[in-house]
Amino acid sequence: MSLAKRIIPCLDVTDGRVVKGVNFVALRDAGDPVEIARRYDEQGADELTFLDITASSDNRGLILHIIEEVAAQVFIPLTVGGGVRAVDDVRRLLNAGADKVGINTAAVTNPQLVADASARFGAQCIVVAIDAKQVSLPGEPLRWHVFTHGGRRDTGLDAVAWAKKMEQMGAGEILLTSMDRDGTKIGFNLDLTRAVADAVGIPVIASGGVGNLDHLVDGILKGRADAVLAASIFHYGEYSVEQAKRYMAEHGIEVRL
Amino acid sequence: MGHIAVVDYGMGNLRSVAKALEHVAPEARVSVTSDAGEIAQADRVVFPGVGAMPDCIRELDARGLRGALIEAAHAKPFLGICLGMQALFESSEEGHAAGLGVLPGKVRLFPAAAMHDAEGQRLKVPHIGWNEVDQTVSHPLWQDIPSGSRFYFVHSYYVEPGAAGLTAATTSYPFAFACAVASNNIFAVQFHPEKSQAAGLRLLANFVAWDGTTRA
């Protein structure tokens, strides 16, 4: 027996509420973040990820209060991402109680931020989030690009090469979201997940598209991810985290039960 | 119980350690401190930390905490966590840094050549996630925690104790390494009890109630 594969519920937070959209649009309210965090903790979540998708700068500070409140009640690792642009943003989130900070768009516009934050706080707390989308045409070898700005902007960067570069720059983990799957419930992009997981020596968290428990199993066994992240299947009560873990265990995956 | 000092030397998320201690010991006074005098007066000391070993020692010295820490490590219930465990040893491969030398042994990087499982699949470094902690001695800090319980790890370096009998638990990744050590009033763990849910809170509660002897 050894290291367990992780299940990480993801909470997209805007203006102090958990929401979930499809392909980054059409948001639907899913509840109070502290209450939801506690529920997932009780169900055996291995970690929690909060993505702050608050659009207005007025309400940016809300996420800090939410993290402080969650960290006082929930004793599992917390990752927070969204709008992290400077080393000082990383510091503020860690001080509020985050254990890891996700860096997404800013890693592309300023890769040095990843190196600086990693040198300052340690690689273990720097998660580089990559939103990727398939750009190869049918019949061509598979290729994926990194997209930013909530999936609207093609950076032209190759997602696999970018993941390797982020590892070199000091990322401790990669949170890989298949942008064209996000919210669709048709499963992870397994080719993408495996290509990135095989290319880097740091753990890869698969994200985007989970609609049932087989998708989680596939993410680990076929995508070779170290952890799987999902939102809507847990938010709306379709499955509990515990059910998901039992299902994965039945398929030979080592989990924490 | 009394006063628990959580040593603050600018390395990592100390708030979560303090919050977890407050959660298990609401009647104790938990202070996050970089004051040598406060560490000297505390009834028990928690030495946490994440980050790199050379920075750790430099930051400790910049705050004049080396003496107070070494003294506490010889005198009262003392809990090292993660980097706070590693720093107790003599040296680290990380930046070829010298540690505090309270315990014999060295800190090594997970060797790339060994990092694959029985099926040949690559094991990632850092070692991140919940792994099984197999207790090798009975100890007051293991009370009501079944051997094999999972705790949360996040680290790239591990301790290789230089004396038989220091190891209190091992974890496999893929080889067995010392994930907990015990010596008199010192208990130190590579994993994060403050992030290990029920098992971690139990360990912290055991520490808060511990008299600093190894009698189980």
Residues in chain A with CB shorter than 8 Å from the CB of B130 are: 3-4, 6, 46, 256
Nearest residue on chain A to B110, alpha-carbon basis? A201
The encoded tokens of residue B46 equal 């928690």
Which spans in B63-156 are helix H?
Answer: 66-75, 83-86
Say yes or no for a CB contact (<8 Å) between A94 and B194. Answer: no
Query: For residue B216, what pLDDT is reported?
Result: 59
Query: For residue A212, what pLDDT is reported?
Result: 95
Q: Which residue in the block uniquely carries the two structure tokens 């020692």? A: B57
- For B30-46, b where at least 16 C-beta lie within 10 A, e where not — what string? bebbbbbebbbebebbb
Say yes or no for a CB contact (<8 Å) between B195 and A76. Answer: yes
For residue B168, pLDDT over 90 is answered with yes
A5 touches chain B (CB under 8 A): yes
Give the model confidence (pLDDT) of A117-128 as tens digits.
998 888 999 999
d(CA B83, CA B76): 20
Give the model confidence (pLDDT) of B53-101 as tens digits.
888 899 999 999 999 999 999 999 999 999 999 999 999 998 888 999 9
B216/A166: higher pLDDT: A166
The encoded tokens of residue B19 equal 């919050």
Mean pLDDT confidence for B135-144: 97
Say yes or no for a CB contact (<8 Å) between A3 and B127. Answer: yes
pLDDT-based confidence at residue A21 (cuts at 50, 70, 90): low
End-to-end Cα distance, chain B: 18
For residue B11, pLDDT over 80 is answered with no
Strand partners, A48: A78
pLDDT-based confidence at residue A151 (cuts at 50, 70, 90): confident
Nearest residue on chain A to B156, alpha-carbon basis? A124
d(CA A84, CA B94): 28
Nearest residue on chain B to A200, alpha-carbon basis? B124
A201 touches chain B (CB under 8 A): yes
Say yes or no for a CB contact (<8 Å) between B117 and A2. Answer: yes
Say yes or no for a CB contact (<8 Å) between A202 and B20. Answer: no
Query: Distance, in angstroms, between A73 CA and closest chain B CA?
Result: 8
Q: What is the residue-wise DSSP string for B133-195?
A: -EE-S--GGGTT--TT-EEEEEESEEEEESSTT-EEEEEESSSEEEEEEEETTEEEESS-GGG
d(CA A135, CA A19): 28
d(CA A214, CA A206): 14
Percent of chain B with pLDDT over 90: 85
Mean pLDDT confidence for A102-116: 96
For residue A22, pLDDT over 60 is answered with no
B155 touches chain A (CB under 8 A): yes
A16 touches chain B (CB under 8 A): no
Note if A131 is an active site residue. Answer: yes
B31 touches chain A (CB under 8 A): no
Nearest residue on chain A to B19, alpha-carbon basis? A72
Strand partners, B47: B80
Percent of chain A with pLDDT over 90: 75
Mean pLDDT for chain A?
92
Percent of chain A with pLDDT over 70: 95
d(CA B32, CA B38): 10
Say yes or no for a CB contact (<8 Å) between A97 and B16. Answer: yes
Strand partners, B109: B157
- For B179-207, b where at least 16 C-beta lie within 10 A, e where not — what string? bbbbbebbbbbbbbbbbbbebbbbbbbbb
- Catalytic residue, chosen from A46, A131, A218, A226, is A131
Query: For residue A15, what pLDDT is reported?
Result: 86
For residue B5, pLDDT over 70 is answered with yes
B105 touches chain A (CB under 8 A): no
Sequence-distant (≥ 6) Cβ neighbours of residue B196 within 8 angstroms = A75, A76, B130, B150, B151, B152, B203
- Do residues B132 and B177 make contact, with C-beta atoms less than 8 angstroms apart? no
Nearest residue on chain B to A45, alpha-carbon basis? B197
Query: For residue A2, what pLDDT is reported?
Result: 87
B177/A238: higher pLDDT: B177
ipTM for the predicted complex: 0.93
- Do residues A212 and A247 make contact, with C-beta atoms less than 8 angstroms apart? no
For residue B172, pLDDT over 60 is answered with yes
Give the model confidence (pLDDT) of A28-73 as tens digits.
777 899 999 999 999 999 999 999 987 666 677 889 999 999 999 9
Say yes or no for a CB contact (<8 Å) between A3 and B51. Answer: no
Q: Which amino acid is at A87?
A: V
B197 touches chain A (CB under 8 A): yes
Q: Hey, CA dihedral for B193, B198, B203, B205, is it positive or negative?
A: positive
DSSP helix/strand/coil, B68: helix
Distances (CA, A) of B210 to A145, A229, B20, B134, B195: 54, 38, 16, 21, 20
Say yes or no for a CB contact (<8 Å) between A2 and B173. Answer: yes
CATH number of B3-209: 3.40.50.880
A2 touches chain B (CB under 8 A): yes
Q: Where are the domains of chain B?
A: 3-209
pLDDT-based confidence at residue A25 (cuts at 50, 70, 90): low
B64 touches chain A (CB under 8 A): no
Mean pLDDT confidence for B12-38: 92
Residues in chain A with CB shorter than 8 Å from the CB of B133 are: none
The neighbour count for residue B24, using CB atoms within 10 Å, is: 21
Q: Where are the beta strands (DSSP E) in A182-239?
A: 204-207, 227-230
Residue B157 burial (C-beta neighbours within 10 Å; 0-12, 13-18, 19+): buried
d(CA B189, CA B196): 12
Say yes or no for a CB contact (<8 Å) between A99 and B13. Answer: yes
Give the model confidence (pLDDT) of A191-221 as tens digits.
999 999 999 999 999 999 999 999 999 999 9
* Residue closest to A233 by CA, chosen among A16, A63, A45: A45
Q: Which residue in the block uniquely carries the two structure tokens 């001695």? A: B137
* Residue closest to A4 by CA, chosen among B199, B123, B103: B123
Mean pLDDT confidence for A174-189: 90
Say yes or no for a CB contact (<8 Å) between A203 and B196. Answer: no
Q: What is the residue-wise DSSP string for A27-88?
A: EEEEE-HHHHHHHHHHTT-S-EEEEE---SGGGTTHHHHHHHHHHTT--S-EEEESS--SHH
Please compute Rg for chain A using Cα positions: 17
Query: For residue A59, what pLDDT is reported?
Result: 72
pLDDT-based confidence at residue A161 (cuts at 50, 70, 90): very high
Please compute Rg for chain B using Cα positions: 16
Which among A4, A75, A227 has CB closest to B194? A75
